[in-house]
Amino acid sequence: MVDNKPLEGRLALVTGASKGIGAATAKALAGAGAHVVLTGRDVRALEKVEDEIHELGGTATIAPLDLTETDAIARLVSAISARWNQLDYLVICAAYLPTLTPVTQIDAKQFSQAITINVLATQALLAGFDPMLKRSDVARVIGFTSSVGEQPRAYWSAYGSSKAAFDNILNSYGQEVEKLSNIRVAIVDPGATRTEMRAKAYPGEDPSTVKSPDVVAERILALLSEDFTTGHRERVA
């Protein structure tokens, strides 16, 4: 008999869950039985995702927050840890793409926002939720990256450098905790996917020529059930 609720009784936190890959992933995890905490800045969009999850028979809780606010993650950690004992899945989807520009013309304010959301918030999430993750027997941390973090590309330096740091932080954390806990860390490059960020980067592209966020979400759901080792990295075709 096939278990259609393999994540029953598990708690997942998905950042950037108001749209795109984050929303699709949240719905996939909820559909598999997990209770999903949805974070993002757009309250109405989060409520829409929550309603869709409930309509499909799943459960979710919205936790609106702005990752650029100094104490936002600390407040999130406090609220979640007060209600639940452990966190089983942390999926980091939230990201900020600065305007594509030559290195010499990078906008300092946008670059700072990319570093704050893509790097500093990631470290704060790992630090804040580390105790809850360590209490789980199946803890998994999945971070969404980009190929430009590994392979520098002209005009993408502001985003790419933030993603290189993002990858480094995740992999370092994974190595630090793999022998002390059940936490395993994976980095996933979603590849060309139909999202607002993709449209911003490639405004002339026909959206129908790239895959739906649902394809990425289904791969994340499958990955959570696999016995991967820390350092696992893959690109979703």
Quick: pLDDT tens for 103-142.
999 999 999 999 999 999 999 999 999 999 999 999 999 9
Instruction: Report the chain's mean pLDDT, rounded to a whole number.
Output: 96
Extract the tokens encoding 217. 């979400």
The string of pLDDT tens digits covering residues 6-19 is 999 999 999 999 99
Q: Do the strands 59-64 and 140-144 form a parallel or antiparallel pair, or are they unpaired?
A: unpaired
**pLDDT in the model for residue 192:** 97
* CA 97/CA 158 separation, integer angstroms: 8
Give how far Cα 170 sits from Cα of 71, 84, 225, Å.
21, 24, 20
Q: Show the low-confidence residues of the chain (pLDDT under 50).
A: 1-2
Give how far Cα 99 sits from Cα of 67, 85, 145, 158, 213, Å.
19, 40, 17, 8, 22
* CA 174/CA 185 separation, integer angstroms: 5
**pLDDT in the model for residue 4:** 81
**pLDDT in the model for residue 1:** 40
**pLDDT in the model for residue 3:** 64
* CA 234/CA 134 separation, integer angstroms: 24
Q: Which of 89, 96, 159, 173 is catalytic?
A: 159
* CA 10/CA 6 separation, integer angstroms: 9
Phi, psi for 225 (deg, rounded to 5): -95, -5
Extract the tokens encoding 188. 């996933």
What is the separation, in whole angstroms, between the first and last Cα of the chain?
29
Q: Is 159 a catalytic residue?
A: yes
11-235 has which fold? Rossmann fold (3.40.50)
